[in-house]
Amino acid sequence: MFFRQIYDEGLAHASYVIGCDQTGEALVVDPRRDVDIYKALTSEHQLRVTAVAETHIHADYLSGGRELAAASGAALYVSAYGDEGERYLLDQPPVRVKPLRDGEEIKIGAVRARALHTPGHTPEHLCFAIHETPQAKEPMMLLSGDFIFVGDLGRPDLLEAALGKSGAADSGARAMFASLRKVLGALPDFVSVWPAHGAGSACGKALGAVPATTLGYERRFSWWSSFVGRDDEPGFVRALREGQPDAPSYFARMKHDNRGFTPILGSLPDPPLLEPAALRTAIRSGAVLVDTRPREEFCASHPLGALSLPDRLNFSTRAAWFLTPDTPIILLAKPERLAELVRRLVRVGLDRIAGYVPTVAATGLALETLDQVSADEAQRRWSAHAAVFLDVRQRSEFADAHIPDTTNVSAGRLAASLAAIPKGRPIVVFCAGGDRSVSAASALRAAGFSDVANMDGGFGEWRDRGFPAERSR
């Protein structure tokens, strides 16, 4: 059996290629949208993709299931479960969709991938128990999707947090408890567990950084095992729901598109180099200039109206926080980084990349700075009630400790919350150390908030200086 994990560090997302050496068939589970990596890998190992499968309707990235199925001619296997209007579409031309129910199998030569319905993170969620041979009664591994992570479980609240479905978080947590009891009762300890996400993903609250675990290890040492062991469902539900990170606004778009509405690319965008006149025309028509330089360079000088999204591992997520699929994007980026940045954008469904410029000087645009204030100056303005203080950290960070009399809107929800922020007053934006807040401040400036400053050093510097802070719990 051939097995390979493909890991995207920026989205903390894992996909899997499983092949049969005898027949040359391969299954790809939870693929990312730039699917050439799977084509290259299978070609290198004399395999052909004959099946593509999804564990669930993802919220944090735009799946490549449709893309890869269309490119390879393989069938796309999806869960048959879920509520009306929220489950997978079974009619997705030009892709052939095959629904899976609990216990049904995908055969890849001698290898079998048995579907296990494991609701909790989402109602339709499937895991795939991988049997290496037809004779193997017990599986070798479990592709667990967003069910069991290394050291954690999938969050149960996304339908409520992202789609506003009242009561879904509580019912999801109870379903997760039942799914754990089902899987722990059916599978042996030696089964290795390969999840769809790792540390840094917003699909859970404390995901481990190693790529895999075993069912036995999680049964013995995970935070949730004692609740399951003593059959304490109420305690489990409280513990699972507590402290989950904010769901970024773009999760709702991902949940919709990943049901079967994802546009098929065929090939990756190839943005052209733009001359200043073409750049100005594009911006007048609604394009956004995305400055991918380090935040320090952006603060010192940047083109008027640019959005600061530094070229770092979290670029995909940060771009999805502030941009929409309908907005043309122009990248201010080094030419040698362009192809990778394009990949990171399409992974979150930002396909309208209209062009790029290599340097600030090449834009030909007027320049501005982003005002940076020290913690001392911020404290003076706070004491004088001279500005609105906007904390763009997560709710859990804010609850642990925050500056009194401040507004909390996490950066991932800022674009959907602009109406709640007063335009007529100066604004001081801050996060933990200054990374998220520079992007948030640039988004405010681009949206027409004229008097915006970033607190250099963020809340960490404020607290180190001994300035006032309080807890929400």
CA distance 146 to 125: 8
Looking at the fold, whether 286 and 191 belong to one and the same domain comes out as: no
- Judge whether 270 lies within some domain: no
CB 283 within 8 A of CB 309: no
Looking at the fold, whether 233 and 363 belong to one and the same domain comes out as: no
Looking at the fold, whether 350 and 387 belong to one and the same domain comes out as: no
Catalytic residue, candidates 20, 203, 299, 431: 431
At residue 279, the 3 state secondary structure works out as: helix
Looking at the fold, whether 224 and 341 belong to one and the same domain comes out as: no
Digit-coded pLDDT (tens) for 178-210: 999 999 999 999 999 999 999 888 888 878 889
Looking at the fold, whether 351 and 394 belong to one and the same domain comes out as: no
CA distance 351 to 414: 22
- Judge whether 264 lies within some domain: no
Digit-coded pLDDT (tens) for 417-450: 998 898 889 999 999 998 899 999 999 999 999 8
Q: What is the CATH number of the domain that holds 419?
A: 3.40.250.10
- Judge whether 262 lies within some domain: no
Residue 335 has pLDDT above 90, yes or no: yes
Residues in the chain: 473
Looking at the fold, whether 353 and 443 belong to one and the same domain comes out as: no
User: Any idea what DSSP says for residue 258?
Assistant: T
Q: What percent of the chain has pLDDT over 90?
A: 91
CA distance 174 to 241: 11
Phi and psi at residue 423, to the nearest 5°: -90, -20
- Model confidence, pTM: 0.95
Write the DSSP assignment of 86-148 as a string of letters.
TSPPS-BTTB-EEEE-TT-EEEETTEEEEEEE--SSSTT-EEEEEESSTT-SS-SEEEEETSB
- Judge whether 470 lies within some domain: no
- Judge whether 206 lies within some domain: yes
Q: What is the CATH number of the domain that holds 149?
A: 3.60.15.10
User: Residue 216 CB: number of other CB atoms within 10 A?
Assistant: 16
Q: Is 127 a catalytic residue?
A: no
Confidence of residue 134 (pLDDT cuts 50, 70, 90): confident
- Judge whether 268 lies within some domain: no
Q: What confidence score (pLDDT) does residue 473 get?
A: 61
- Judge whether 472 lies within some domain: no
CA proximity to 175, closest of 125, 222, 215 = 125
Domain that holds residue 408: 371-464
- Judge whether 473 lies within some domain: no
Digit-coded pLDDT (tens) for 213-258: 999 999 999 999 999 999 999 999 999 999 898 999 999 999 999 9
Looking at the fold, whether 22 and 152 belong to one and the same domain comes out as: yes
Looking at the fold, whether 47 and 184 belong to one and the same domain comes out as: yes
Looking at the fold, whether 56 and 177 belong to one and the same domain comes out as: yes
Last residue of a domain, one of 343, 368, 393: 368
Q: What confidence score (pLDDT) does residue 48 get?
A: 98
Strands 48-53 and 25-29: parallel
CA 89-93-96 angle, to 5 degrees, is 75
Looking at the fold, whether 101 and 23 belong to one and the same domain comes out as: yes
Query: Based on the structure, what is the number of domains in the chain?
Result: 3
CA distances from residue 83 to 103, 155, 159, 168 in whole angstroms, order as listed: 20, 18, 11, 12
Q: What confidence score (pLDDT) does residue 202 get?
A: 81
CB 444 within 8 A of CB 327: no
Q: What confidence score (pLDDT) does residue 72 get?
A: 97
Cis, peptide link before residue 328, omega less than 30° from 0: no
Looking at the fold, whether 146 and 237 belong to one and the same domain comes out as: yes
Looking at the fold, whether 345 and 378 belong to one and the same domain comes out as: no
Last residue of a domain, one of 227, 257, 287: 257
User: Residue 405 CB: number of other CB atoms within 10 A?
Assistant: 11
Last residue of a domain, one of 257, 284, 303: 257
